[in-house]
């Protein structure tokens, strides 16, 4: 289980540019659930993921992952619990390293890294098998640099990397936003398959309201650093994109002016 | 160029091969422009010279030099990681501080190693001439250093260091403490450079506080020449490139200075160095231009 209790995040504190990114967000996410997170630009979606990943340390509040309180724990220290796939395909992997080297890095996530060869025979075989499951033909390009892969291929490999060492929670930060529609659909199907197979606790930030309703079992909407909508179960199953927009307007009592959100 | 001059150039190239390996770790692996090496090279020479003159075993003296170099590297890394000083500026601060430290270590601007045993002493008089013994001895040490660095970079720990330089955000997301990697990498880099300084002192018979001027340029030139000739695809090849690049660089300098046609003198060394480094930097672009045309 993941729980966020009264989380406050302020950027540029004490400066003229001070901005409240999250204001008293409290959220409990059940183990094995798949939650989608939507909201306009600047709503606090990525900050919420950052708080869970350790990139953002809240000024107030408590973050729990499983039994552990991880509020002040830096990213590297909680990497064994949290796996991530970033929005930018270049951010989640090392372009200068080969596919198999990237997998070797992920293989030791959250574990002590010693002087053992990163790419021994048995590991190479394991990595090749994992990559072959993608069915993209990348198992024949294991020594190619990641920078030679397309954005979609990189995101697919990033998903495999996220699963290499196991985790308590998977964070997906608009991980299909930079992909063409065909590749985005492939990556989403792959995501769904992995999440279902491993029964992972997953949080996915998306700008697409369609994705937010099609995938997962719970949807939350952020606005101005607060959770303004939280639907799951039967009430979510009957929701349409138009309903989501109407709910947003009703809750906030204002016009939705984020073009990207409306188009999505 | 005479045979002795050629062997001399190879010898100096092999001394600076340790610098090139250190510079490769900092610049290429960690993406950390570290000018500390201009101070750590003479630091290594100073420590080893003072210890040898005090009757300490020359191998142990070289090891202590490495520790001193690593400590200097840690100072730079601390200034950058702990106090958030820009990496380049942090290394310049340590470098200028080391000038004073080196004078303190030696007690004067230079120390001569006269009539004392060095690491090379047991190898003289075995049939080979002295000017050949030194490069061969250095070649063996350079190969050992190269293999250790290569094996480390191919390990899980080494891969973490490479990821830190290539994509620190991703590295942290994979559970790598990037700050620790910078401490370790810069310490290792400067330990290698200090070893180069220690070997310089033992092969040339002196340590001088000014011997570090331009060390970073020489190290970078070696790395770039190696990358141009051998490529950067595989770590082992890149490391071999550093060593060979260092030797080729010294031979090129020696050739330029000994060429009567060019009319160059020893005082033109810095000019030749600048021209050679510029050529090495431009060469990859020229190669790409030729290939694309």
In angstroms and rounded to an integer, the radius of gyration of the C-alpha atoms of chain A is 19
Contact A113 B174 (CB under 8 A): no
Please give, rounded to a whole number of angstroms, the shortest distance from the CA of A102 to a CA of chain B: 9
- B159, part of any domain: yes
Contact B175 A109 (CB under 8 A): yes
Please give, rounded to a whole number of angstroms, the shortest distance from the CA of A235 to a CA of chain B: 35
Instruction: Work out the burial of residue A67: count CB atoms within 10 Å of its CB; fewer than 13 is exposed, 13-18 middle, 19 or more buried.
Output: exposed
- B289, part of any domain: no
- B232, part of any domain: no
Contact A118 B158 (CB under 8 A): yes
CB atoms within 10 A of CB B211: 21
Q: Give the integer Cα–Cα distance in Å for A242 and A210.
A: 10
The pLDDT of residue B261 = 64
Backbone angles phi, psi at B204, to 5 degrees: -95, -15
Q: Give the integer Cα–Cα distance in Å for A1 and A37.
A: 17
**Would an 8 Å CB–CB cutoff place A73 in contact with chain B?**
no
Please give, rounded to a whole number of angstroms, the shortest distance from the CA of A126 to a CA of chain B: 16
β-strands A218-223, A226-232: how paired? Answer: antiparallel
- B108, part of any domain: yes
| Closest CB from A77, A91, A116 relative to B170 | A91
β-strands A2-11, A60-65: how paired? Answer: antiparallel
Structure-token match 């080729």, residue found: B248
Contact B228, B283 (CB under 8 A): yes
The pLDDT of residue A114 = 95
Q: What is the dihedral of CA B193, B198, B200, B205, to 10 degrees?
A: 170
Q: Give the integer Cα–Cα distance in Å for B187 and A119.
A: 25
The pLDDT of residue A183 = 87
Kindly state the average pLDDT of the residues A96-117: 95
| Closest CB from B159, B172, B175 relative to A104 | B159
Question: Which residues of A are less than 8 Å from B174 in CB distance?
Answer: 79, 105-106, 108-109, 161
pTM over 0.80: yes
H or E stretch including A64?
strand A60-65
User: What domains does chain A contain, in order, with CATH numbers?
Assistant: 2-81+167-263 (3.40.50.300), 90-166 (no CATH)
Contact A117 B155 (CB under 8 A): yes
pLDDT reading at A80 higher than 50: yes
H or E stretch including B223?
helix B215-230
CB pairs under 8 A between A and B: 88
pLDDT reading at A258 higher than 90: no
Contact A109 B162 (CB under 8 A): no
Give the three-class secondary structure for A1. Answer: coil
Disruptive mutation site among A91, A94, A123 for chain B (greatest number of B CBs within 10 Å): A94
Give the three-class secondary structure for B138. Answer: helix
pLDDT reading at A264 higher than 50: no
Contact B166 A95 (CB under 8 A): yes
Label residue A85 by pLDDT band (50, 70, 90). Answer: very high
- B249, part of any domain: no
β-strands B206-208, A169-173: how paired? Answer: unpaired
Side-chain half-sphere CA neighbours of A199 within 13 A:
4
Give every CB contact of residue A16 below 8 A, 6+ residues apart in sequence.
none
Which region holds residue A83: left if phi is over 0, alpha if psi is between -120 and 50, else beta? beta
Backbone angles phi, psi at A117, to 5 degrees: -55, 130
| Closest CB from A75, A108, A161 relative to B156 | A108
**Would an 8 Å CB–CB cutoff place B166 in contact with chain A?**
yes
Q: Report the candidate in A103, A241, A89 with the shortest Cα–Cα distance to residue A172.
A: A89
Of residues B43 and A244, which shows the higher confidence score? B43
What confidence tens digit (pLDDT) does each residue in A198-224 have?
889 999 999 888 888 889 999 999 988
- B28, part of any domain: yes
Side-chain half-sphere CA neighbours of B281 within 13 A:
10
In angstroms and rounded to an integer, the radius of gyration of the C-alpha atoms of chain B is 19
Disruptive mutation site among B170, B172, B231, B234 for chain A (greatest number of A CBs within 10 Å): B170
Please give, rounded to a whole number of angstroms, the shortest distance from the CA of A247 to a CA of chain B: 35
In terms of DSSP H, where are the helices of A57-180?
A: 99-107, 121-132, 151-164
Question: Which residues of A are less than 8 Å from B170 in CB distance?
Answer: 86, 91-94
Contact A95 B175 (CB under 8 A): no
The pLDDT of residue B87 = 96
The pLDDT of residue A66 = 87
pLDDT reading at A259 higher than 60: no
pLDDT reading at A248 higher than 60: yes
What confidence tens digit (pLDDT) does each residue in A7-52 have?
999 998 888 888 899 999 999 999 999 999 998 888 899 999 999 9
Please give, rounded to a whole number of angstroms, the shortest distance from the CA of B185 to a CA of chain A: 15
> Can you give the pLDDT of all 293 residues of chain B as single tens digits?
688 888 999 999 999 999 999 999 999 999 999 999 999 999 999 999 999 999 999 999 999 999 999 999 999 999 999 999 999 999 999 999 999 999 999 999 999 998 899 999 999 888 888 888 999 999 999 999 999 999 999 999 999 999 999 999 999 999 999 999 999 999 999 999 999 999 999 999 999 999 999 899 999 999 999 998 888 889 999 999 999 999 999 998 888 877 766 778 778 888 888 888 888 778 777 877 766 66
Q: Give the integer Cα–Cα distance in Å for A22 and A180.
A: 31
CB atoms within 10 A of CB A172: 29
pLDDT reading at A260 higher than 60: no
What is the domain range of residue B89? Answer: 3-112+125-209
The pLDDT of residue A257 = 53
> In whole numbers, what is the pLDDT of chain A averaged over residues?
89
Domain count, chain B: 1
- B164, part of any domain: yes
Q: Give the integer Cα–Cα distance in Å for B173 and A93.
A: 10
The complex scores an ipTM of 0.89
Residues 87-116 in A contacting B (C-alpha not used; CB under 8 Å): 91-97, 101, 104-106, 108-111, 113-116
């Amino acid at each position: 289980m993941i729980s966020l209790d009264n989380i406050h995040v302020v950027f540029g504190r004490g400066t003229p540019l001070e901005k409240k990114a999250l204001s008293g967000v409290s959220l409990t996410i059940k183990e094995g659930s798949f939650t989608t997170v939507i909201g306009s630009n600047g709503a606090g979606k990525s900050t919420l993921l950052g708080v869970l990943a350790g990139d953002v340390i809240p000024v107030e509040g408590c973050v729990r992952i499983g039994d552990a309180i991880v509020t002040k724990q830096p990213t590297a220290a909680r990497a064994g619990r949290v796996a991530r796939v970033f929005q930018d395909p270049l951010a989640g992997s090392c372009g200068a390293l080969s596919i198999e080297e990237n997998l070797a890095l992920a293989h030791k996530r959250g574990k002590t890294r010693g002087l053992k060869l990163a790419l021994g025979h048995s590991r190479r075989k394991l990595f090749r098998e994992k990559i072959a499951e993608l069915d993209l033909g990348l198992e024949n390009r294991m020594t190619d640099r990641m920078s030679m892969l397309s954005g979609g291929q990189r995101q697919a490999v990033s998903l495999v990397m996220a699963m290499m060492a196991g985790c308590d929670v998977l964070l997906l930060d608009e991980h299909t936003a930079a992909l063409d529609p065909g590749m985005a659909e492939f990556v989403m199907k792959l995501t769904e398959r992995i999440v279902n197979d491993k029964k992972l606790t997953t949080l996915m930030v998306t700008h697409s309201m369609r994705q937010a309703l099609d995938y997962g079992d719970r949807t939350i909407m952020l606005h101005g650093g607060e959770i303004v909508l939280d639907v799951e179960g039967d009430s979510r199953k009957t929701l349409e994109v138009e309903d989501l927009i109407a709910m947003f307007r009703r809750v906030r009592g204002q016009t939705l002016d984020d073009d990207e959100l409306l188009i999505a | 160029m005479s045979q002795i001059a050629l062997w001399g150039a190879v010898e100096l190239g092999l001394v600076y091969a340790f610098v090139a390996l250190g510079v490769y770790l900092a610049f290429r692996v960690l993406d950390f422009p570290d000018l500390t090496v201009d101070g750590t090279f003479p630091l290594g020479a100073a420590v080893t010279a003072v210890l040898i003159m005090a009757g300490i075993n020359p191998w142990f003296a070289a090891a202590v030099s490495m520790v001193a170099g690593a400590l200097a590297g840690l100072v730079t890394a601390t200034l950058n990681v702990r106090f958030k000083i820009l990496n380049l500026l942090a290394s310049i601060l340590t470098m200028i501080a080391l000038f004073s430290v080196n004078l303190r270590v030696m007690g004067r601007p230079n120390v001569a190693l006269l009539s004392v045993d060095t690491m090379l002493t047991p190898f003289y008089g075995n049939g080979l001439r002295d000017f050949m013994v030194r490069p061969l001895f250095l070649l063996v040490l350079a190969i050992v250093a190269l293999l250790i660095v290569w094996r480390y970079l191919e390990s899980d720990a080494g891969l973490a260091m490479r990821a830190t330089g290539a994509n620190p955000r991703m590295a942290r997301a994979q559970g790598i403490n990037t700050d620790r990697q910078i401490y370790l990498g810069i310490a290792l880099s400067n330990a290698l450079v200090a070893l180069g300084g220690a070997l310089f002192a033992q092969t040339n018979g002196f340590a001088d506080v000014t011997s570090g001027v331009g060390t970073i340029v020489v190290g970078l030139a070696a790395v770039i020449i190696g990358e141009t000739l051998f490529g950067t695809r595989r770590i082992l090849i890149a490391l071999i490139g550093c060593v060979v690049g260092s030797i080729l660089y010294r031979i090129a300098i020696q050739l330029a200075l000994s060429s009567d046609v060019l009319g160059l003198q020893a005082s033109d060394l810095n000019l030749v160095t600048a021209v050679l480094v510029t050529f090495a930097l431009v060469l990859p672009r020229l190669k790409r231009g030729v290939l694309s045309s």
